[in-house]
Structures are given as structure tokens and as C-alpha cells.
Structure 1
Amino acid sequence: MFAFPQIDPVIFQIGPLAVRWYGMMYLLGFVACYFIIRHLCRRRDLDLSGDALSDLLFYCILGVILGGRLGYTLFYNTSFYLQHPLKIFAVWEGGMSFHGGLLGVVVAAVLFCRRRRLPMLLTGDILVTAATVGLGLGRLGNFINGELWGRVTTVPWGMVFPGGGPDPRHPSQLYEAALEGPVLFLILWILHRRKVRQGIPFFTFFLGYGLFRFGIEFFRQPDVQLGFLWGGATMGQLLSLPMILFGAVGLVLILRKGRGA
């Protein structure tokens, strides 16, 4: 059993301005995304100039924030926000949904591609690959904050989290950070290096993330306001099922099209 490392969530503070690790992870994720997208655009021959790339990132940042916040409001804590609607805008208090953020980015990217007349599948291939870095860093931010911990366990690496009671729990944030970050990034990076058909990295991301998240949810403690849902499933698992289906169907269609070409 390990004691949770007490890490101050605030890196430094100047007067009322506090720079937190969680926010820093978002910032580092967006910076990393910029350089990865720029590199993959050159490698996959996607015409995206400096100004256009900056505009694309702006669209995606808006999609992440708006989609993530609205997704959390709708999927995880609807009753609370119906009673306190102004709290929806209090993003500094936490509460973001990955699945909502993903939908927000997809909508933003589609609008951007239509406006710039860019190939949607190739652009999607590049965006989801870069997004894995942000996902991994975000989960590290969850771990530093001591939030979204796992279920009670007897494994030797179990941790006692502040606010999680006296029992050791799975450090499920680290499981997610590894699988949704470097592991998924490596899979997609290899596909890019092999210059596979457009759309294969995009749909592989949906399938891979959905499977990873579905599996990790068996070790993650469900949100207290929701608990276990239908058949003992968690909200994260229910939201991951459409991703798995979407990714699998998309890959099948692309591979069949490739054989018929």
C-alpha cells in the first residue's frame, strides 16, 4: 500500500491569481498538440498554414471547453445544475466530461474543415493523434488533484487518497493516463508512419479509447452522485459503448472500401 503523495495543486500564486497543476496540464496539452499537428500535417501532406493551424486550435479549444462543460452538466450532474443554472459557467470549480469535450471538438473540427475545405477524415486522423497527449496529461492532473480515484483494492500498489476514506484504492487515474495517453498515441503514431488509408487512425482512436475507458471503469470509483447504473455499469462505460461501435463500424467500412478499390 502506498500513501498518496501530497502535491500542492497550486504551483504558485501571485495575489489572487493561482496557477494550478490541472490548468497547467491543459496548457501543456494544447502546446504539445500544436507541434504534433504541425508535424503530422507535413508528414501526411495536409495543407494547413500557420494561421490556419492557430485557427483550428482555437476552434478545438472552444469545443473542448464548451462540450466538456455541457457534457458534464448533462451526463453527470443534471439535477444540480437545473437547480443552480449559473453554476454551469463556473468552470474553475471543476467538472468536465471527456465524452462531451470530444463531441465539442468533432463539431468544431467539422465546421472548420467545411469552412477551409479540408479533408475531414485526414484532419480527424491528425487531431485525434494529438489529442492523446492532452488526455494523458489531463489524467495526471486528476491524480495530482487527488480526484477520480479508483475502487477499494488489495493490490500492493493501492493508494489511500485524501477524501477517499481509509482504505487503499486503485490509482485509476494513472491507468487512464498510461492507456489513453502514450499507449494510444503510439498505436496511432505507427499508423501514421505506415501512411494507412485516411480515416483509419480516426476510427482506431474511437475504438481504442472506448475499449480502454470501458475496461478501466471496472477499477474506477463511479461518480458519487450517479453510482452504478443499468446492470452495474458506470456512466463512463455507457458513454464509451457508442464510441466502440462507431470506431468498429468505421474501420470495417474503410477496410471494405479499400479491398474494393
Structure 2
Amino acid sequence: MLTHPQFDPVALSLGPLKVHWYGLMYLAAFLQFWWLGRHRILTQPQLSNSGWTVRQLDDLLFYGVLGVIAGGRLGEVLFYQPGYYLAHPLQILAVWQGGMSFHGGFLGVLVAMWLYARKNRKTWLEITDFIAPLVPLGLATGRLGNFINGELWGRTADPALPWAMVFPWVDDLPRHPSQIYQAGLEGVALFGLLWLYSSRSRPRGAVSGAFLIGYGSLRWVAEYFRTPDDGILGLSYTVSMGQWLSLPMVIAGIAFVVLAHRQRF
């Protein structure tokens, strides 16, 4: 069996300033978002012809960063640990320690994109279709940050599994490195699928729908290897909090794809 390396969560110390690996993973996510977005604008005529520019991408990233951080933290507070943060309200600001909910960040980004759409006179679905393929690799870096922090460890695994891993601060049992699974599924695999799907012109809303279906489905699978969180619906090894939050995404995604191909948007 493998043993978690127990990384120092601080990547770099400069006097009183401490740079955490978790924060660097978020920085990497935002940088790859910008780079991939720029690549799409410059290489896919359907985007440049519809008015997308690199300058607009810069503004879009600013709105997205605010949505991710505010929504991700509030999601963690409201969906997963309301009791803890009610007792320790100042800890809500300690984002460098981890504790960011994808589903909260997702809702935060949706609100941020709505505000961006109003300001720039674009449709909301036009924006979500554009950003959907740019998101998954950022999710992968976030999961690597979870692994470095040693959080969100997996369920117990067969000791014969070559990559079964012991997380010593939890117990001596072999566990699935579920953070790596999620980085591969919700990150790399979803990116490949969406990048290929969006490389051709699609009806408005179809790429957004594909993202919802893909993420929700892959997250549902990954949750069976991850120790479930004790969220507001209680602790369950049958249907976890993450799976309950992913189910509406799949349903909405199917509706988006169907309506997009019927040209209802």
C-alpha cells in the first residue's frame, strides 16, 4: 500500500507571508482558463465571428474569479458545515485552508456570468457555452490541491489495489485516493469530451447542457469512491450530499441539450 506523502500545505514562506499550495492550484486554474479561452477565440472562427475578443475574456475572468471564491466558500458553509461555521464565523474567510464547494462555486459563477451578460449585452447561454470547456482542467488542479492538503480522502479499498493509500491522520486502513480519481474524471476526461464537442458549432445551450450532464454524471460515479460528507441532509453512504447536488445538474443538462436542438433558446 502507498502512504500519503503528507505535504507541507505551505509552498513558500516569505517572512510573514505564506503561500499555500491550495492557493497556487487556484491560480493555476485561473491561468489555464485564460490561456484556453484565448486559444479558442483566436482559433475557432465561430467565436471571433460572434464578437468574442481577448479583452472580453480578461473581464470575464475577473467576474469568474469572484464567483468561484465567493460561491465556493458560501457553498461549503451552507451545504456542508453550517454548524461549524456558525460557531466559528471568522473561519469563513480562511479560504487558504481548503473547504470550497464545487456546487457553491458553480452557482456563484452562474450569478457572475449573469451580471457579466447584463453589462456586455450578451446572452447568458452564449457565455456559459463559451466557458464550459475552459472549466474542467481548473477543477483538476483544485482536486490536486485537495490531495496536497490531505482532505476529501476516499472510502476504504482492497489492500491488494496497487494504488490503495493510507491517510495516517485518518486511520491505518487502505483507501481510494479519490481526489486523484476526481481530477481524472471531472477534470481531464470531462475536458477532453467538452473540448471536442465544442470544437464545432453547436446550438445555443448545447455545450452548457453537455457540461452539466458530464460533470453531474462523473461526480456521481466518483462519489462512490470518496468518503461522503456530512452535509445538511445527513451522512449517507448510499446517496451522498455530492450526489444529491449533482442530480439536478444532470436533469437540467438533459433539458438544455433537448431544448437547444429543438432551437428553443
Identity of aligned residues (%): 49
Matched, 1:17 2:17: yes
Kindly state the Cα deviation for residue 64 of structure 1 after the two structures are TM-superposed: 0.4
Tell me, in whole angstroms, the C-alpha distance in 1 between the residues paired with 2:2 and 2:97: 28
For 1:30-49, list aligned pairs within 5 A.
Answer: 30-42=30-42, 43=44, 44-45=47-48, 46-49=50-53
Q: Deviations over 1:87-109 (max 9, x none)?
A: 32232332211000000001101
Matched, 1:85 2:89: yes
**Counterpart in 2 of 1:144?**
148
Tell me, in whole angstroms, the C-alpha distance in 2 between the residues paired with 1:218 and 1:24: 28
**Counterpart in 2 of 1:242?**
248
Picking from 249, 260, 264, the partner of 1:254 is 260
Q: Aligned pair in 2 of structure 1 residues 250, 27: CA closer, same or farther (>3 Å)?
A: same
Tell me, in whole angstroms, the C-alpha distance in 2 between the residues paired with 1:215 and 1:97: 17
Kindly state the Cα deviation for residue 207 of structure 1 after the two structures are TM-superposed: 0.6
Q: Aligned pair in 2 of structure 1 residues 231, 151: CA closer, same or farther (>3 Å)?
A: closer
Matched, 1:175 2:181: yes
Structure 2 portions without partners, runs of 5+: none
CA-based RMSD of the aligned residues comes to 2.1
Q: Aligned pair in 2 of structure 1 residues 145, 84: CA closer, same or farther (>3 Å)?
A: closer
Tell me, in whole angstroms, the C-alpha distance in 2 between the residues paired with 1:138 and 1:104: 16
Tell me, in whole angstroms, the C-alpha distance in 2 between the residues paired with 1:227 and 1:174: 26
Q: Aligned pair in 2 of structure 1 residues 227, 247: CA closer, same or farther (>3 Å)?
A: closer
For 1:26-105, list aligned pairs within 5 A.
Answer: 26-42=26-42, 43=44, 44-45=47-48, 46-105=50-109
Q: Aligned pair in 2 of structure 1 residues 216, 113: CA closer, same or farther (>3 Å)?
A: same
Kindly state the Cα deviation for residue 215 of structure 1 after the two structures are TM-superposed: 1.0
**Counterpart in 2 of 1:109?**
113
**Counterpart in 1 of 2:221?**
215
Tell me, in whole angstroms, the C-alpha distance in 1 between the residues paired with 2:150 and 2:237: 28
CA contact (8 A) 1:41 1:47 kept: no
Tell me, in whole angstroms, the C-alpha distance in 2 between the residues paired with 1:150 and 1:231: 12
Tell me, in whole angstroms, the C-alpha distance in 2 between the residues paired with 1:230 and 1:222: 7
Q: Aligned pair in 2 of structure 1 residues 73, 214: CA closer, same or farther (>3 Å)?
A: same
State the AA in 1 paired with 2:87. Answer: Q
Structure 1 runs, 4 residues or longer, greater than 6 Å off: none
Q: Aligned pair in 2 of structure 1 residues 153, 227: CA closer, same or farther (>3 Å)?
A: farther
State the AA in 2 paired with 1:19. Answer: V
Q: Aligned pair in 2 of structure 1 residues 111, 85: CA closer, same or farther (>3 Å)?
A: same
Kindly state the Cα deviation for residue 227 of structure 1 after the two structures are TM-superposed: 8.9
Size of the alignment, in residue pairs?
A: 259
Secondary structure in structure 1 of the residue aligned to 2:107: helix
Question: Which segment drifts farther, 227-236 or 14-23?
Answer: 227-236
Secondary structure in structure 1 of the residue aligned to 2:13: strand
CA contact (8 A) 2:211 2:253 kept: yes
Q: Deviations over 1:177-223 (max 9, x none)?
A: 00111111111111122222222111111110000111111110012
Structure 2 length as normaliser, TM-score?
A: 0.91
Tell me, in whole angstroms, the C-alpha distance in 2 between the residues paired with 1:203 and 1:225: 26
Kindly state the Cα deviation for residue 167 of structure 1 after the two structures are TM-superposed: 0.4
Secondary structure in structure 1 of the residue aligned to 2:174: coil
State the AA in 2 paired with 1:95. Answer: G
CA contact (8 A) 1:135 1:181 kept: yes
Q: Aligned pair in 2 of structure 1 residues 249, 227: CA closer, same or farther (>3 Å)?
A: closer
Secondary structure in structure 2 of the residue aligned to 1:238: helix
Tell me, in whole angstroms, the C-alpha distance in 2 between the residues paired with 1:231 and 1:174: 20
Tell me, in whole angstroms, the C-alpha distance in 1 between the residues paired with 2:5 and 2:104: 30
Matched, 1:4 2:4: yes
